[in-house]
Amino acid sequence: MKKIAVLVSGRGSNLRALYGAIEQGKLDAEICLVVSNKSKAPALEFCRNKNIPCQICKLKDFESREAFFDHLAGIVSLSGANLVVLAGFMMLVTPNFIRHFPNKVINIHPSLLPSFPGLDAQKQAFDYGVKISGCTVFMVDEGCDTGPIIIQRAVEVLETDTEETLADRILTVEHDTLWRACKIMLDGKVSVSGRRTLIKEEQ
């Protein structure tokens, strides 16, 4: 069975959705490890309740970001993970971390990249007045939300939306999109050509 390592910083909403997809038989995989850089992240309590192996790894315990991420790469490597998912992990990973797992680190972002990268993407979209927003799953590179795109899903911005209702509806779509991206990645259906990802269709 293929293994997924998940890096989190907060509540772990996408982690929970990914676990749910596995439980429902949608995704043939196991979450072999969850690592949080925040000791009080609610995601850790979820892991303990579900007997998912989890660890806390804090930046302040290391001399540098490079040392932190080198240690993190070692932990993930030992877990045997076939895929690394950043699910609300609020740190930019280092180039060396990415080199440990070439084309195997993915992230999910609550906008249609390259529009509205970085923090508060839903607020950025709402304030700008776009008619369509959504979410993006992409391969992580050395930039901030700049890697090759795997899947994008659109969400219409309604005239009755508030920033909060838009964010909630995008999050619901995120939950359905992330496991689908994990599935095609673990099935070996995604290849990269420059900035483009090529997804092999079912025969």
The fold adopted by the segment(s) 1-102 is: Rossmann fold (3.40.50)
What does the pLDDT average to over 133-154?
A: 96
Contact between residue 100 and residue 77 where contact means Cβ atoms under 8 Å apart: yes
| Per-residue pLDDT at 13 | 96
| CATH code for the structural domain at 107-203 | 3.40.50.170
Position of tokens 């619901």? 172
In degrees and rounded to multiples of 5, residue 72 shows phi and psi of -60, -40
Tokens of 7: 């890096």
Burial of residue 65, with CB atoms counted within 10 A of its CB: 0-12 exposed, 13-18 middle, 19 or more buried: middle
d(CA 162, CA 73): 39
- Give the residue from 89, 111, 95, 107 showing the smallest Cα distance to 157: 111
| Cα of 166 vs its chain's centroid, Å | 19
User: Is the bond preceding residue 114 a cis peptide, omega within 30 degrees?
Assistant: yes
**What are the catalytic residues?**
109
Helices (H), 61-147: 65-79, 95-100, 121-128
> Could you give the CA distance from residue 72 to residue 93 in angstroms, rounded to a whole number?
10
Closest CA to 116 of 133, 97, 103, 138: 133
Q: What is the pLDDT of residues 19-74, one digit of tens each?
A: 999 999 999 999 999 999 999 999 999 999 999 999 999 999 999 999 999 999 99
pLDDT band at 202 (very low <50, low <70, confident <90, very high): low
Average pLDDT over residues 161-176: 97
pLDDT at 201: 79
Q: Give residue-wise pLDDT tens across range 86-127.
A: 999 999 999 999 999 999 999 999 999 999 999 999 999 999
In the chain, list all ranges with CATH 3.40.50.170. Answer: 1-102, 107-203
Sequence-ordered alpha helix ranges (H) in 11-86: 13-23, 42-50, 65-79
Express as a percent the part of the chain with pLDDT over 70: 99
